[in-house]
Amino acid sequence: MKRRNFFKTAALGGGTLALAPLGSCVQTTTQTNIPENYADFELNEITIAQLQEKMSSGALSSAEITQKYLDRIEQIDKKEPELRAVIEINPEAINIARQMDAERKSGKVRSPMHGIPVLIKDNIDTGDKMLTTAGSLAMVGSPAPDDAVIVRKLREAGAVLLGKTNLSEWANFRSTKSSSGWSGRGGQVRNPFSLDRSPCGSSSGTGSAVSANMCAIGIGTETDGSIVCPSGINGIVGIKPTVGLWNGDGIIPISHSQDTAGPMARTVSDAAVLLGLLAEKNQDYSQYLDANGLKNARIGIASDFFGNNTEVDKLISEAIETLKSKGAIIVGNLKFENRKECGDAEWQVLISEFKADLNAYLKTRSGLKVQSLADLIEFNLKNADTELKWFGQEIFEKAEKTNGLEDPVYLEALKKSQKLTREEGIDFLMDKHKLDALIALTNGPAWTIDWVNGDHFSGGSSKPAAVSGYPNITVPAGFVKGLPVGISFFGRAWSEPTLIKLAFAYEQATKHRKAPGFLKGIS
């Protein structure tokens, strides 16, 4: 489930939202709306390995590749139709690329990411000339003093930090009526498949930018759905790692028990490369890229997350048939019990951890207008014409009333939420049915952007993996009316090797990924 909509149901005591069937899945998109030359891009759909081949052969330098992506951003992000996926360009990007070219010429190649341009979400600290704001005008001021740990590792790997991506402000943890991808600083991110549609969130800009071929690969963050939903809804691959696989220091927090950054890419292979390089202990996940990886794999169908949309269900049914055809053993009709109880417990955990974690983070920053959550609430009230123009800050206000991490209410909620999703959830189902992984719908089709009413949720399954802290990988599963739908593979803690093997095999069998058309709308 996408984080913002989880809060809507948890905070208001509601159940799972439903969406009426959309009818036939015949694509009737208006092709006349495709902007000229947007698909005519030399690096369209190029992979990390292909970029390395070009640099190794001398066909292109890192500086030339970086400039092409910068030109691409200028062409399709800052002018009409204004995707607004990129919130800030790194003024040092070309210089970094030139340094990597010089090292390559001298015979030094640091890693598979050497010279590769990357965009990262604007809630990840960079100790350079760029800001780290979570999309909030309250955080505009001095840059962060140091790189986040994953950014330091990114630089050590030789990657080119191209810029920061826009996001749902405060990672979609401000209001139950927010518009995914909107921030006071960056404006509204749009979906490159249909520009009137939501990019989901909160890693909206990363999902949109990667899908629109504005970088080689990107990094998002997730607390509950914020990597997998914008990946699925923008038609790309996203990996939400086991919490702790990537170091979280230097990332503007919501919840230390659920937060993690992760790769967002156009292919499983690219995502696997970055996942391993930025892991606390570098790992080579490329060894698990097995096109025959589905053979004899036992996969459970998490049926709780189907039934919102007949055309989406049809796609997932086709996906299941593909899994079977590639040798997987399917175990159907598995359910997560106590979903409402789990949601209520998660809500308490997140509002409690947010206040404590954010206040601690803000102490590491100087030169800002705010030093605490209380300051932030007051800033927004004083700047309501910009920050509160479309939706409020009721989540902030609820979090401010919590009583800290020693509060028995918080401690009981944490214990309950993890128990329900671990030993009584994912681990229970996998043990009982001897599973290698579970699968479910990642997302329904993108809804239209609505600043008045907020998001119109169309289905999702992020909660079990998010609350447990376990890994989740989404892969494109096809289209409904030209809008991407994703399928999620999730499982036990530290099971990334297995999930990568299964997700890669499914991706290779289907190859649903395609570049977006930048349509103005669906008709």
pLDDT tens, residue order, the chain (523 aa):
444 444 443 433 332 222 222 222 333 333 334 455 677 899 999 999 999 999 999 999 999 999 999 999 999 997 766 899 999 999 999 999 999 999 999 999 999 999 999 999 999 999 999 999 999 999 999 999 999 999 999 999 999 999 999 999 999 999 999 999 999 999 999 999 999 999 999 999 999 999 999 999 999 999 999 999 999 999 999 999 999 999 999 999 999 999 999 999 999 999 999 999 999 999 999 999 999 999 999 999 999 998 889 999 999 999 999 999 999 999 999 999 889 999 999 999 999 999 999 999 999 999 999 999 999 999 999 999 999 999 999 999 999 999 999 999 999 999 999 999 999 999 999 999 999 999 999 999 999 999 999 999 888 999 999 999 999 999 999 999 999 999 999 999 999 999 999 999 999 999 999 999 999 999 7
* CB crowding 250-262: b at 16 or more within 10 Å, else e: bbbbbbebbbbbb
* Token pair listed for 136: 């909030």
Domains of the chain: 3-14+31-510 (3.90.1300.10)
- Measure Cα distances from 43 to 65, 67, 115, 279 in Å: 8, 11, 15, 27
Taking alpha carbons only, the member of 101, 151, 91, 95 closest to residue 127 is 151
pLDDT confidence of residue 282: 94
pTM score over 0.75: yes
Taking alpha carbons only, the member of 118, 55, 126, 46 closest to residue 277 is 118
* Token pair listed for 180: 């995914």
Bridge-based pairing of strands 437-441 and 483-490 is antiparallel
Please give the distance of CA 296 from its chain centroid, rounded to a whole number.
30
φ, ψ at 29 (rounded to 5°): -70, 150
For the question of residue 363 being annotated catalytic, the response is no
φ, ψ at 239 (rounded to 5°): -120, 120
Q: Please state at what angle helix 3-12 crosses helix 339-362, rounded to 10 degrees.
A: 110
Instruction: Enter the DSSP assignment of 184.
Output: T
Taking alpha carbons only, the member of 208, 196, 214, 212 closest to residue 232 is 208
Bridge-based pairing of strands 187-188 and 182-183 is antiparallel
Which residue among 208, 226, 231, 352 is the active-site one?
Answer: 226
Long-range Cβ contact pairs of 416-419 (< 8 A, separation 24 or more) = 416/341, 416/342, 416/345, 417/342, 417/345, 417/346, 417/349, 417/467, 418/257, 418/467, 418/468, 418/469
* Token pair listed for 66: 């970086």
pLDDT confidence of residue 80: 65
pLDDT confidence of residue 78: 79
**Those residues with Cβ within 8 angstroms of residue 99's Cβ, 6 or more apart along the chain or in another chain:** none
Helices (H), 326-372: 339-362
For the question of residue 389 being annotated catalytic, the response is no
pLDDT confidence of residue 29: 37
For the question of residue 488 being annotated catalytic, the response is no
Which residue among 2, 54, 121, 326 is the active-site one?
Answer: 121
**Those residues with Cβ within 8 angstroms of residue 388's Cβ, 6 or more apart along the chain or in another chain:** 380, 381
Which string of DSSP letters, residue by residue, matches 64-121?
HHHHHHHHHHHHHTSSTT----EEEE-TTHHHHHHHHHHHHHTT---STTTT-EEEEE
Q: Cα(177)–Cα(311) distance, rounded to whole angstroms?
A: 27
- Measure Cα distances from 105 to 95, 154, 197, 297, 518 in Å: 15, 20, 44, 45, 38
Instruction: Enter the DSSP assignment of 476.
Output: E
Tokens 């309250």 sit on residue: 138
Which string of DSSP letters, residue by residue, matches 33-53?
GPPTTTT--TTTT--HHHHHH
pLDDT confidence of residue 5: 45
Which residue among 62, 168, 178, 202 is the active-site one?
Answer: 202
Q: Is the peptide bond before 202 cis (omega within 30 degrees of 0)?
A: yes
